[in-house]
Structure 1
Amino acid sequence: MAKKMKRESTEVRQQQIIEAAQKIIFKHGSEHLTVKRIADMVGISEAAIYRHFKSKKSILSFLLTYIENILLNDIAEERKGTELVTLDTIDKIILRHFSMIDMRKGLSFQVIAEIVSLGDRKLNKKAAQTIDKYISSLVELLSTGVKDGAIRKDIDLEASATLLFTLIHGLVNMWALNDGSFKLINKYSSLWQIYREAISNR
């Protein structure tokens, strides 16, 4: 039986539920995510979960929105106060991004992959939209770099942003599969040099 906890605000309780769902998915896989497991981890009753979310699917949908905000915020935060976008600026943004991913144990990308594995069409569509928004933020970053003269004008921005996303996502997947046994930033550095050479406006 779940232990009793003091009544929390809706925002705090939803955050606790979402964080518990992430941990369960990351540790056991999405197929093992149940309302009972979440309730046990948070320390509340299943009925209390349903006061905030009507179903497991609504928890996963909310979780995708939460992850989307985290990923986009990683990039937006580093751009604050930056007037010119140089290759060093982009490098700094991605490095910070990896630091945040490392700190979160790669949860964001792994949770998206696990949710997609469930095969729910609506959730898959939302996951695809999350990735599209993430790639769009990279397109915007690269586009500003072109305008500021750091990046070649003849590159395909959409393809370049997708390649950068694939680099980030693929590296995080490798890191997660190896239980975080290597430093993301170290692996990224050599890959970034290859990518940088390809887009640099020499």
Structure 2
Amino acid sequence: MKITTRQMEIIQAAIRVIARQGYEKLTTKTLAKSVGISDAALYRHFASKNELIKMILCYFEHISCSVIEQINSRNLPPIQRISSFVMDRYEMFSKDPDLAMVMFSEELFKNDHSFEEQLLSIMHIHRNEVMGYITEGQSLSMIHADLNPLHIFRMIVGSMRMLVSQWNMSKHAFDLREEGRSLLNTIIILIEVKK
């Protein structure tokens, strides 16, 4: 995915506007003003609001795939790979709360069926990778083999989603990384085979 510097500025400004003012406030005028360019210049980078939202999703997918590649390039045990993936999400959202707000905004993605499909595709990438770590852990007797890998995945990602949503709604009243680590450790205690 090739994104120019200016497109990246526009994407980040759009994420800020959506997170702080809502999707309906994401207008050409608001966005152009936020970036410091004319409305016409904005259209040179993105033909429509929908194209911009799709690019935000592509940006998130690119970040996710890069993290997965980094995790897979290291020779880590399956539980450590799960932990690395989850903690990276908490770290990323802590550093960019606006991105967390946008990525967990179901309202935003209901506006266009193609947004839902693209977000679902990203979720499937996450599911396939994390379930791969889980099934490998089960085959190595590190994770309880009698547990359904999909259910474990849903425990991990569903609880992460809930925690990030609570963090967003509380206006970031707690340390997301610290709470995330504690929550993940609890899940690991439940799924890990004790030796």
TM range (shorter): 0.7 to 0.9
1:14 and 2:14 aligned: no
Alignment of 1:59-138 (within 5 A): 59-85=52-78, 87-105=79-97, 107-108=99-100, 110-113=102-105, 114-116=107-109, 118-138=110-130
Counterpart position of 2:180: 188
Instruction: Compare 174-183 and 129-138 and name the one that shifted more.
Output: 129-138
Task: Tell me the TM-score normalised to structure 1 length.
Answer: 0.83
Q: Distance in 1 between matches of 2:118 and 2:76?
A: 32
2:49 to 45, 56, 61: 56
Change beyond 3 A, Cα 1:197–1:83: closer
Following TM superposition, by how much is the alpha carbon of 1:178 offset from its aligned partner in structure 2, in angstroms? 0.9
1:197 and 2:189 aligned: yes
Instruction: Compare 151-160 and 188-197 and name the one that shifted more.
Output: 188-197
**Pairwise CA RMSD:** 2.2
1:172 to 138, 161, 164: 164
| CA shift digits 1:72-105 (9 cap, x unpaired) | 43344244322432x3453344223312221112
- Identical-residue share of aligned pairs (%): 24
| CA shift digits 1:21-51 (9 cap, x unpaired) | 1010111111111121111111111111111
Q: Does the aligned pair in 2 maintain the 1:150–1:201 contact within 8 Å?
A: yes
Q: Does the aligned pair in 1 maintain the 2:94–2:177 contact within 8 Å?
A: no
Change beyond 3 A, Cα 1:50–1:69: same
1:153 and 2:145 aligned: yes
Q: Distance in 2 between matches of 1:138 and 1:88?
A: 11
Q: Distance in 1 between matches of 2:127 and 2:77?
A: 20
Instruction: Compare 129-138 and 30-39 and name the one that shifted more.
Output: 129-138
Q: 2:142 is paired with a residue of what secondary structure?
A: coil
Question: What is the aligned length?
Answer: 192
- Unaligned stretches of 5+ in structure 2? none
Change beyond 3 A, Cα 1:175–1:39: same
Runs (4 or more) in structure 1 with deviation over 6 Å come to none
Counterpart position of 2:33: 40
Q: 1:51 is paired with a residue of what secondary structure?
A: helix
| CA shift digits 1:115-146 (9 cap, x unpaired) | 22x43222222222222222222212222322
Task: Tell me the TM-score normalised to structure 2 length.
Answer: 0.86
- The letter of the residue matching 2:82 is I
Following TM superposition, by how much is the alpha carbon of 1:164 offset from its aligned partner in structure 2, in angstroms? 0.9
Following TM superposition, by how much is the alpha carbon of 1:109 offset from its aligned partner in structure 2, in angstroms? 5.4
Q: Does the aligned pair in 1 maintain the 2:16–2:98 contact within 8 Å?
A: no
Counterpart position of 1:163: 155
